[in-house]
Structure 1
Amino acid sequence: MTALPKLYIGIDIHKRSWKVHCATELFTGKTFSMSPDPEQLQRYVLKHFSDYEVNVAYEAGCCGYYAHRCFEGYGWTSLVVNPADIHRKGKERHTKTDKIDAQLISRELKDGRLDSIEVPDMEREQLRSLFRRRNDLVKDFRRVKSYIKMQLLYFGIKEPEEFDNDHWSHKYRQWLDDLVFKHPTAKAALESRMRFFRFVDQELRDVSTQLRRYCKTHYKKDYMLLRSIPGIGGIVACGILCELGDLRRFNTVKHLAGYVGLVPSVHQSGGNQKTMGMTPRAHRLIRSYFVEASWQAIRTDPVMQAYYRKHMGKNVKSIIVKVARKLLSRTLAVIKTETPYVVGVLQ
């Protein structure tokens, strides 16, 4: 049986247009622009390369995985790749156009140097959108609180000592509502900010409740396993399920730590090796969640407390990263063994 010739398609995807480069094993290829429509590309391939085995790749970005799912539906081999994984030679690093990007993707695909990122199923992808909405609301919540504090500072208004903290109690909110300014315009500005504050506060509560409820219902087993670990609360557990998916796909904790970004960045030349801190290539949101969860873990789990004290005297940031790595290892172990964590038991 004769093997089919292969077609390699690299696409630089944008909202309004795609730059496409098609190459085969015998010729370097052709580059053209088209509307952002997978069906149009399918028609082109059927017309010009009907007897070819089709391989297509594009960079992960704002356009999501819709095109990828369409390509796989056509029976093509499709890859969604991390832009950082596309190798650029010499001057290619200083020259960037849509045409060059499409050609590079096609070339790397043809040479077999590309690996696809993990593409979530549609249910988890849409759940992830709710989790990310919550994080947008967290940013808005912090921002509006900062604006209100800045207005008080600007007009020289001192807060009562009992309210001088990050917790905005109902009494503090009432105190803000009762503030009197010499002119009504400043009061109108504060009232507007307080209305926005209360709106974001309620939205954040509602979205958080929806997120926890959905994960409890549809991913109950993994959700409860994660919640058994000290330091991992409901929102962190939801974040792990939404952003990392099924942790069983990670073979080792080293694999998982590399994905999250809890590994050192190392530079070696000859006999000299230098550690550059945490790697810049990371899932920054989940990494930050694990670091924050580690502070709670060392307060509630004797094993984590002992591990933290063992490294006392070193840089505090370095120690908490070590704790976060241990917490990550514990998270993977709990999911893989499907055994809830027991506080105080060395695992």
Structure 2
Amino acid sequence: MKRTLQDNQEAFAGQEFFIGIDVHNKQWTVSVQSNHLALDKPVVVDPSAEKVSGFLRKRYPGGKYYAVYEAGYSGFWPARTLEESGIVTIVVNPADIPTMQKERSTKTDRVDSRKLARSLENKELKGIYIPDRLTEEYRQLARYRSRLVSEQTRLKNRIKAVLAQFNYRCPVELEGNRWSGVYLNWLRSIRFATSYAQMAYDEQLDQLQESRERLSRVLRELKRMTKEHESIGRLVTLLQTVPGIGFVTAVLLVTELVEMERFKRLEDLASFVGLAPSVHQSDEKSYSRGLTKRQHKELRSRLIESAWVAVRKDPVLTMKFGELSQRMNKKKAIIRIAKKLLSRIRSVWHTQKPYVYGVIE
């Protein structure tokens, strides 16, 4: 009687299989590689770990499965469900995947999945941090607030553009109180000659008011979250003892960094945030090309803003900023201060003790 692979559940016992998955909303393209050989043609399956697991166990029963896919809009749920199915999975930054010239000129789902499988077997990939489901949910509110702030800035700029276009100038007595309640009342008092222009203007003011109200609700919810979850709240309170770190920045740090232990050195943390230099080295020559383009945009921006506050509050940082400003422009100097601020944040996180002003490292 003819035997099939299905009859022998251990046909590939102990053999390692490396799976590259090109993840899309409607389908996943799966490529398998083992012993540095591409096995068969890539297959297209429905977007679920169950389908991938079923295919692997049917085709290569008893094997050890290792999978990889690119970080993207799908988030981390594919990684979690693949792990639950017994497939060791990593998620990688698309920029970190080695790509041959012909793979750049011919980009398809099949090519991408094969490239992932090959790079995984060659140990050329380093996975990014995968938070648990709850941690990922905690992040949503802080990130939503950041989007609201950006949206509000765009609305304000549009309103200012309309005022400039029709020569409506802010009263002198309100110059120092832009976007205060009194200033908003003045904006509401402006009248245009036609109902069409008035409607367009009023709609933008209404959008701004709605955005401000949403921002207030989100801030209240963030405060409730830190009160209800002791581990988050305790760390947020500690981080606020660092000069320049306010409540929102502290929440952002806690929800984005999650575990400080994953950064073995300060340089690793600085690289993640985007406060590390981009270095070019050839032979014995080495030079810096400024800050790395890789960054956590929101964290880097927040820390630089916090650094400007810190140099006015902490005597040690004030003195250091003065020294740096004598040999470089202030924008470069504040980047150095932001990195020192990051070092203080790391120290407070590790020691679980409030920051003490004036301590020289």
Give the percent of matched residue pairs that are identical in Structure 1 and Structure 2: 35
1:57 lines up with 2:68 in the alignment: yes
1:290 lines up with 2:303 in the alignment: yes
Per the TM alignment, residue 32 of structure 1 is displaced from its structure 2 partner at its CA by 1.7
Specify every segment of 5 or more residues in structure 2 that has no aligned partner in the other structure, as ranges.
1-11
Larger mean Cα displacement after TM superposition, 130-139 or 228-237: 130-139
Specify every segment of 5 or more residues in structure 1 that has no aligned partner in the other structure, as ranges.
none
CA distance in 1, matches of 2:191, 2:246: 40
1:139 lines up with 2:157 in the alignment: no
| Equivalence for 1:203 | 214
Per the TM alignment, residue 216 of structure 1 is displaced from its structure 2 partner at its CA by 4.2
CA distance in 2, matches of 1:246, 1:5: 34
Per the TM alignment, residue 147 of structure 1 is displaced from its structure 2 partner at its CA by 1.1
Distance 1:323 1:184, change over 3 A: same
Q: Contact 2:18–2:117 at 8 Å: present in 1 too?
A: yes
| Equivalence for 1:154 | 165
Aligned residue pair count:
346
TM-score scaled by length of structure 1: 0.95
| Equivalence for 1:318 | 332
| Equivalence for 2:34 | 24
CA distance in 2, matches of 1:173, 1:26: 66
Q: Contact 2:49–2:85 at 8 Å: present in 1 too?
A: no
Per the TM alignment, residue 89 of structure 1 is displaced from its structure 2 partner at its CA by 2.5
Distance 1:232 1:26, change over 3 A: closer
Per the TM alignment, residue 27 of structure 1 is displaced from its structure 2 partner at its CA by 3.6
1:11 lines up with 2:25 in the alignment: no
Aligned partner letter, 1:95: T
CA distance in 2, matches of 1:87, 1:243: 27
SS of 1:311 mapped into structure 2: helix
Alignment of 1:73-92 (within 5 A): 73-92=84-103
CA distance in 1, matches of 2:338, 2:303: 6
| Equivalence for 2:360 | 346
| Equivalence for 2:265 | 252
SS of 1:62 mapped into structure 2: coil
Q: Contact 2:13–2:61 at 8 Å: present in 1 too?
A: no
Distance 1:26 1:144, change over 3 A: closer
SS of 1:28 mapped into structure 2: strand
| Equivalence for 1:69 | 80
Q: Contact 1:263–1:279 at 8 Å: present in 2 too?
A: yes
Larger mean Cα displacement after TM superposition, 289-298 or 216-225: 216-225
Per the TM alignment, residue 26 of structure 1 is displaced from its structure 2 partner at its CA by 6.5
Distance 1:3 1:41, change over 3 A: closer
CA distance in 1, matches of 2:296, 2:188: 40
Aligned partner letter, 1:15: N
CA distance in 2, matches of 1:334, 1:248: 13
RMSD, aligned CA: 1.6
CA distance in 2, matches of 1:24, 1:240: 40
Distance 1:262 1:69, change over 3 A: same
Q: Contact 1:248–1:335 at 8 Å: present in 2 too?
A: no
1:235 lines up with 2:248 in the alignment: yes
What are the superposed Cα offsets for residues 151-170 of structure 1, whole Å, 9 maximum, x if unpaired? 11111212212333573111
Larger mean Cα displacement after TM superposition, 29-38 or 233-242: 29-38
The ranges of structure 1 where at least 4 consecutive aligned residues each deviate by more than 6 angstroms after the TM superposition are none
Q: Contact 1:212–1:238 at 8 Å: present in 2 too?
A: no
Per the TM alignment, residue 3 of structure 1 is displaced from its structure 2 partner at its CA by 6.3
Q: Contact 1:21–1:106 at 8 Å: present in 2 too?
A: yes
Larger mean Cα displacement after TM superposition, 207-216 or 301-310: 207-216
Q: Contact 1:60–1:82 at 8 Å: present in 2 too?
A: yes
Q: Contact 1:265–1:277 at 8 Å: present in 2 too?
A: yes
